[in-house]
Structure 1
Amino acid sequence: MKKFPLLAILFSAFFIKAQEKQQNETATYKKRVLESTEVDFLMSYYAQDGDNAAVTGGVGTEELTDVTPTIVVSIPLNDDDVLSIDAGVSAYSSASSSNVNPFDGNVLANPFVASSGASESDILVTVSTNYSHSSDDRDKIWSANLAIASEYDYFSLGFGGSYTRLFNEKNTELSVKANVFLDTWKTIYPSELRDQPTFTPFNNKSRNSYSVGFDFSQILSKKLQGSLSLDFIQQQGLLSTPFQRVQFADIADVVIQEFTYADDVERLPDSRLKIAMGGRLHYYISEIFTVRTFYRYYTDDWGVKSHTTSIEIPIKITDKFTIYPSYRFYKQTAADYFAPFNQHLSTQQFYTSDYDLSDFEANQYGFGISYTDIFTKFHIWKLGLKSIDLRFRQYDRNSGLSATLFSSGFSFVVD
């Protein structure tokens, strides 16, 4: 009979231990941040034209085309960690940049005609990686990123990270991000200035950019979500583009064939502080309609101030198809150093005729359609099709620049 209390104690201990193990297994179960490897194939085609090319001093063709294929692979390393690799190639052809040397083609030198020289086209290669880690309760997320970009006259190395904290049963989100980009130029000057003894080349051929951003997001109700953002960017180094011409009003023009020689290249301060603040509101009207609005105010110490507003209205046509009509308006003031073709003075310290730094307004109209299948029924080899996204955007400035962008994205899940 004395054995029964001992057996009871041993049985109780075993039962308690088994119960604790079961509770621990239940407590440690968590949904993976990313269930399976995902592969995105992206493609965009961009075309623009206008009559204010900075390469030729603010007049001339701005015709440019750019094709950018990109692949993004997101890999779940475990329940909490995801590694993403983004690789892309941007292949462009530019009539304006061909006029860095307007006399190396087979046509009469003219700012409105491409010279068809070696600088007419180029390829930019970019590769970036991002590693993110989520806490067990998914309330804390931190990430680190590294990026490299290279083309024939430019190399960039970037790195940074972010931290996100969720509160209030994940209804409130705060995040901070920081990035550094270290860029190096191969300075290429307009052909007529390269052997000119009075021309002063740039000594500094590097440009460093440092950015810090803060984001706040809040679910305000079952149908309304809002967010606020604040970004600071400090740039230092060579912020001028070495092959963009400037002609002075107080110096007699030198015209060869139909081309006006540069008196100098664009010269801008070696530092620039940019500040941008904005907000978003997303309102769920019904199962069919949603409204997404955005506003941003931007200012910098070069005198540029801008306002951006946009609206997008996703319309769910069926369970799998959604269309996206959108509109964006942009307005900015001119930089302190901007003047049109042949209106700068040689006594000025800084000057540019780049119309990206001019006073202008722009409208952008967009339309998109997306297909989503969460069950990935359609397969190509081991890739299950998750979604297709097709977009069109038309951009027009009141300065005459017009641009068209077609983009597509195909998202797959690896079985």
Structure 2
Amino acid sequence: MAVTDRRPATVALLWMLLLMATGAHGATLPEDKVDAFYHRYEGGGMTIDGPSVLVRKGAGNQVSFSGQYYVDSVSAASVDVLATASPYTEERTEYTLGADYLEGNSILSLSYTNSSENDYEANTLYLGISQEFFGNMTTLTIGYARGWDTVMEVGNDSFEEEADRQNYQLGISQVLTPNSVMGLDFEVVTDEGFLENPYRVNRYVDPSDPTNYLYQPERYPDTRTSVSAAVNGRYYLPWRASVKGSYRYFTDDWGIDAHTVELGYVHGLGPNWTLEGGIRYYSQDQADFYSDLYDYANSQTHLARDKEMSTFSGITFSAGVQYQWEQISVPGVDRLQLGLLVDYLDFDYDNFRDVTASGDYLPGQEPLYGFDAWVTRASVLFEY
């Protein structure tokens, strides 16, 4: 039995869709390029790694096509897995095909994504439009994504559930001064269907032995609506550097309220090198129906012990370096760029306890859980 968490994949997909919506910023089609990178996440009992390749090619002056291949290989021995099951491995493969169409100061974007693993299938269709106003000083972006997910369970061929997802996006960016840009982004996401994880369980006090606890399956509401708003800005400094900052607020009808604050700095060294660093802080409140330990079985309509539904906070430190050649003696290549980015994550949970901790603990008195992790991304990009 595997205990998997769909949320990281979902969040990554939503951010990818937002980037695709804003990638057409400036009413200029993206450059023809090949962008390949290797990513690796290691921490909290999870190792996730794999390659990604993005190819973009224009067809005339108005159309650009893109295709992306992305792989996650997962080895899991997290606190959720060790508490109720055995470590497992699996692989998620994702394909995206997209097209951008330029007409005057507008760009229309269309893409289709398929993500597949042994017990989960996700299909997403995205449509977005970006329009410039006021002498190219203001850019408005509107996006819509529709997803159809199929949830399965390893070892149970009769289990198959559906989940439908809709994502509405609105973004505006404004050039304030020759050295500063500001943006506002709004997003509404609605989910309907089977939204829990078929492997995940919650725990409750054993009625026959209060020093022990038992498990039962999680049970989520079959609908969820979330709203987020973000403000971001960048200021370009006179010595080939820039500072950037952002704040994002998230809320949903499950009772979760979350805040994200991020600061970053980018500095050019000479004609080829670029250094960057940043810090990000995230905090959230628990879902209304979350509990680390319920008093008895089926004590309420909805039940969840997913640590991502609890109250927690975390900080991320980022550092990276890029080297690029603007003039390169490779036939057909206009620009080549190599990059290495490293993130360090440290998260602490306020009301999720580590039931795998060694020691003789009564239910609900185990140590609180926390973890750290490293994320590494090595990339190579060339425009042609």
TM range (shorter): 0.7 to 0.9
Q: CA deviation at 1:383?
A: 5.1
The 1:162/1:32 distance shift into structure 2, 3 A limit, reads closer
Identity of aligned residues (%): 21
Residue 367, structure 1, aligned to residue 367, structure 2: no
Match of 1:169 among 131, 135, 154: 135
2:379 corresponds in structure 1 to 409
Equivalent residue runs for 1:75-86 within 5 Å: 75-86=57-68
Q: CA deviation at 1:111?
A: 2.9
Q: Secondary structure at the match of 1:398?
A: strand
Letter of the structure 2 residue corresponding to residue 70 of structure 1: S
Q: Secondary structure at the match of 1:401?
A: strand
Residue 178, structure 1, aligned to residue 144, structure 2: yes
Letter of the structure 1 residue corresponding to residue 165 of structure 2: S
Does the 8 Å contact 2:143/2:169 carry over to 1? yes
| Partners of 1:224 and 1:247 in 2: CA distance | 51
Does the 8 Å contact 1:188/1:242 carry over to 2? no
Does the 8 Å contact 1:182/1:206 carry over to 2? yes
Q: 1:371-397: CA deviations, max 9, x gaps?
A: 12222x154x86565211210001111
The 1:344/1:90 distance shift into structure 2, 3 A limit, reads farther
Does the 8 Å contact 1:32/1:79 carry over to 2? no
| Partners of 1:32 and 1:328 in 2: CA distance | 31
Q: Secondary structure at the match of 1:236?
A: strand
The 1:344/1:40 distance shift into structure 2, 3 A limit, reads farther
2:176 corresponds in structure 1 to 220
Cα RMSD for the two superposed structures: 2.7
Does the 8 Å contact 2:153/2:159 carry over to 1? no
Q: Secondary structure at the match of 2:135?
A: coil
2:99 corresponds in structure 1 to 131
Q: Secondary structure at the match of 1:356?
A: helix
| Partners of 2:376 and 2:237 in 1: CA distance | 29
Q: CA deviation at 1:33?
A: 3.3
Q: 1:71-128: CA deviations, max 9, x gaps?
A: 00001111111001001111110114994xxxxxxxxxx639x835xxx000101000
| Partners of 2:261 and 2:249 in 1: CA distance | 9
| Partners of 1:65 and 1:339 in 2: CA distance | 27
Residue 321, structure 1, aligned to residue 277, structure 2: no
Residue 44, structure 1, aligned to residue 16, structure 2: no
2:164 corresponds in structure 1 to 208
Which ranges in structure 2 are unaligned for 5 or more consecutive residues? 1-26, 350-369
Q: CA deviation at 1:288?
A: 3.0
Q: CA deviation at 1:129?
A: 1.0
The 1:246/1:172 distance shift into structure 2, 3 A limit, reads same
Letter of the structure 1 residue corresponding to residue 39 of structure 2: S
Letter of the structure 1 residue corresponding to residue 86 of structure 2: S
Match of 1:350 among 302, 305, 325: 302
| Partners of 1:301 and 1:203 in 2: CA distance | 27
Larger radius of gyration: 1
| Partners of 2:275 and 2:281 in 1: CA distance | 20
| Partners of 1:283 and 1:344 in 2: CA distance | 55
The 1:32/1:115 distance shift into structure 2, 3 A limit, reads closer
- Looking at secondary structure, tell me which structure has more strand per residue: 2
| Partners of 1:233 and 1:80 in 2: CA distance | 31
Residue 386, structure 1, aligned to residue 341, structure 2: no
Moved more, 392-401 or 170-179: 392-401
2:86 corresponds in structure 1 to 115
| Partners of 1:131 and 1:387 in 2: CA distance | 24
Match of 1:337 among 266, 276, 289: 289
Does the 8 Å contact 1:70/1:86 carry over to 2? yes
Q: CA deviation at 1:289?
A: 2.5
Residue 160, structure 1, aligned to residue 160, structure 2: no
Q: Secondary structure at the match of 1:335?
A: coil
Does the 8 Å contact 2:202/2:293 carry over to 1? yes
The 1:307/1:235 distance shift into structure 2, 3 A limit, reads same
Q: Secondary structure at the match of 2:205?
A: coil
Q: CA deviation at 1:368?
A: 0.6
| Partners of 1:327 and 1:123 in 2: CA distance | 30
Match of 2:219 among 267, 283, 290: 267
Q: How many residues align?
A: 338
Does the 8 Å contact 1:188/1:243 carry over to 2? no
